[in-house]
Amino acid sequence: MSQPAQHHAVFGHPVAHSLSPAIHAAFGRQLGIAVDYVAIDATPDTFETALARFAGAGGSGANVTLPLKEAAFALANTCSERARRAGAVNTLVRQGETWFGDNTDGAGLVRDLTGRHGLDLRGRRTLLIGAGGAARGVAPLLLDAGVSDLFVVNRTPERTDALADALGEPDRVHPRYLDVIGELGEFELIVNATSAARSGAIPALPRSLVGMRTAAVDLSYGEASVPFLAWARAHGARDTIDGLGMLVEQAAESFALWHGVRPDTDPVFAALQARNVALVTAD
Ligand code: NDP
């Protein structure tokens, strides 16, 4: 007997330009699995209703992107340990009449940095800029990957404190105000997890953060990653990495949760990277 059709979606706002439908379609083609995956625009006000409608129409799993990851955590009936530590959910799996929430962002980032880019994260003094859904997703996995100290700064200090509290490792996790960033010294890993470039400008960052060993990582990709990575390169960062590889890796983790098999991410990454370069260098 053939498997019943599965329906998947990504919820976010804005979401029309999400690459996730194309990535999941490519995984499905690679593995001979029929994929029905659409983008659904929902704001924090409309998300709960939109998700219930999706479940009612047979939705079997969903990705959740900005600005809904914390709302998805609140809506999930049960969740994984890594989602609980993040306080944010980017992957929902329908289980009977309930939603199971997971967070694949951190595993996706670590896999991209260590596997694709060959970085050893152990012992790195690390700065995480941002405390939104993506920052929450990656922070626990950076700690698990062995970074030495994790400093967190964010425009809204209450969110910095909430993230540090959720991580529960006061000896390694240090919340700091954004306006004292110039006093924090040099970092071997700097992760920009803000969406600031989407609204025009990244926060002002001092060059003292960057040293010869620094890897600078922007979780965004395409044009949104250009200002931060250009800043890092100009100040001598050794590695500058955008979020495209993480995007493909977190998608593969979600795909595996839903379909029980992990796709080969390299060909999909290569195809997207070619597109991404065209996107950034286009007039
Ligand atoms: P959220 O909306 O949850 O959080 C946004 C974050 O950006 C907050 O920390 C917010 O600070 C900060 N921010 C926004 N505007 C500014 C500004 N002008 N100056 C300083 N800080 C600002 O979004 P997400 O965390 O979900 O996403 C963040 C980024 O990560 C996005 O660019 C997204 O595309 C990318 N991402 C990439 C993924 C990948 O797979 N590559 C996966 C997930 C996200 P405040 O709290 O003060 O509002």
Tell me the CATH number at 212.
3.40.50.720
Measured in angstroms, how far is the CA atom of residue 20 from the centroid of ligand 1? 17
On whether residue 170 sits in a domain, the answer given is yes
194 and 235 together in one domain: yes
Mean pLDDT of the region 246-259: 98
> What was the pLDDT predicted at 71?
97
Q: Which atom of ligand 1 is nearest to the CA of 130?
A: 9
pLDDT digits (tens, 9 = 90+) for 56-82: 999 999 999 999 999 999 999 999 999
On whether residue 282 sits in a domain, the answer given is no
- Average pLDDT along the chain: 94
* Among 218, 254, 265, residue whose Cα is nearest residue 115: 265
On whether residue 283 sits in a domain, the answer given is no
231 and 111 together in one domain: yes
209 and 163 together in one domain: yes
With a 6 Å cutoff on the Cβ, whether 124 touches ligand 1 is no
Mode of pairing for the β-strands spanning 78-79 and 239-241: unpaired
Mean pLDDT of the region 180-204: 91
With a 6 Å cutoff on the Cβ, whether 128 touches ligand 1 is no
> What was the pLDDT predicted at 153?
98
130 and 212 together in one domain: yes
pLDDT above 80 for 281: no
> What was the pLDDT predicted at 282?
45
Residues with catalytic function: 69
> What was the pLDDT predicted at 277?
63
120 and 228 together in one domain: yes
100 and 169 together in one domain: no
CA distances from 217 to 63, 119, 183, 192, 273 (A): 22, 11, 21, 6, 16
32 CB-near residues (< 8 Å, 6+ apart): none
Domain of residue 162: give its range.
106-244
Measured in angstroms, how far is the CA atom of residue 105 from the centroid of ligand 1? 13
pLDDT digits (tens, 9 = 90+) for 197-232: 877 688 889 999 999 999 999 999 999 999 999 999
Atom 8 of ligand 1, nearest CA residue: 132
136 and 224 together in one domain: yes
Atom 29 of ligand 1, nearest CA residue: 195
With a 6 Å cutoff on the Cβ, whether 136 touches ligand 1 is no
Cα 176 from chain centre: 22
From CA 226, how far away is CA 230, in angstroms rounded?
6
174 and 223 together in one domain: yes
> What was the pLDDT predicted at 125?
98
pLDDT above 70 for 283: no
pLDDT above 80 for 3: no
Atom 4 of ligand 1, nearest CA residue: 132
With a 6 Å cutoff on the Cβ, whether 224 touches ligand 1 is yes
**DSSP label at 77?**
S
215: three-class secondary structure by DSSP:
strand
Give the CA angle between residues 153, 155, 156 to the nearest 5°: 100
